[in-house]
Amino acid sequence: MPVDHRRLARSVGFLMFFSRWLQIPLYLGLIVAQCVYVWHFVVELTHLVQGVWSGDAAFTETKVMLVVLGLVDVVMIANLLVMVIVGGYETFVSRLHLEEHPDQPEWLTHVNANVLKVKLATAIIGISSIHLLKTFIDAQTATATQMLWQTVMHLAFVLSALVLALIDRILNGTESTRHHQQRLPRPRQADAPVR
């Protein structure tokens, strides 16, 4: 019995396209991780409020600042998780159809893999900045080598984000130019001279 190659290719293609749904457990796992971060945030906030309220001498201004920076760090990581969950699902699995929803994030209307990479890189820079700030505030507990390496890693994150943004801009500029050229009317041929 002869093999219908077109039908086989269509079936394989459908199977590959359907495999995108295998990412669902990954995104659900990230939602569970976000629940863990919410729990961690509540526990840290409770400790902070109890420590300050009771007048605990251990909660100096520096200690309070470090705990608050830790809370900001948790929030930024949670924001990063939301971007990965929502943006990744929209980009790689299926549309969310949130066009009429009043709470639709503004960035979701033009999300693609490149935009998502740049947004993630900038979020990582924010998280790295918080860690670096915590290290410099509590400098007496860190060695000069640790501070140096944290600074170098932060600068590497910044450089990576700049390169990603530059690549995204170049790619978008190329696509925009190509799209613009396709929309321009073609120049009319000059009429042939009458003889």
3-state SS, one letter per residue, for 71-137 = HHHHHHHHHHHHHHHHHHHHHHHCCCCCCCCCCCCHHHHHCCHHHHHHHHHHHHHHHHHHHHHHHHH
Of 109, 140, 163, the position where a domain reaches its end is 109
Mean pLDDT of 126-130: 88
Q: Is the pLDDT assigned to residue 120 strictly greater than 60?
A: yes
120 lies in the same domain as 57: no
The pLDDT-based confidence of 38 (bands split at 50, 70, 90) is very high
CA torsion sign, 91 to 177 to 167 to 79? Answer: negative
pLDDT digits (tens, 9 = 90+) for 153-180: 999 999 988 988 888 888 877 655 555 5
Domain end point (choices 59, 75, 109):
109
pLDDT at res. 107: 67
| pLDDT, position 40 | 93
Confidence at 144, pLDDT banded by 50, 70, 90: confident
Most confident among 22-26, 87-91, 138-142 (mean pLDDT): 22-26
> 143 and 172 share a domain?
yes
Name the domain count of the chain: 2
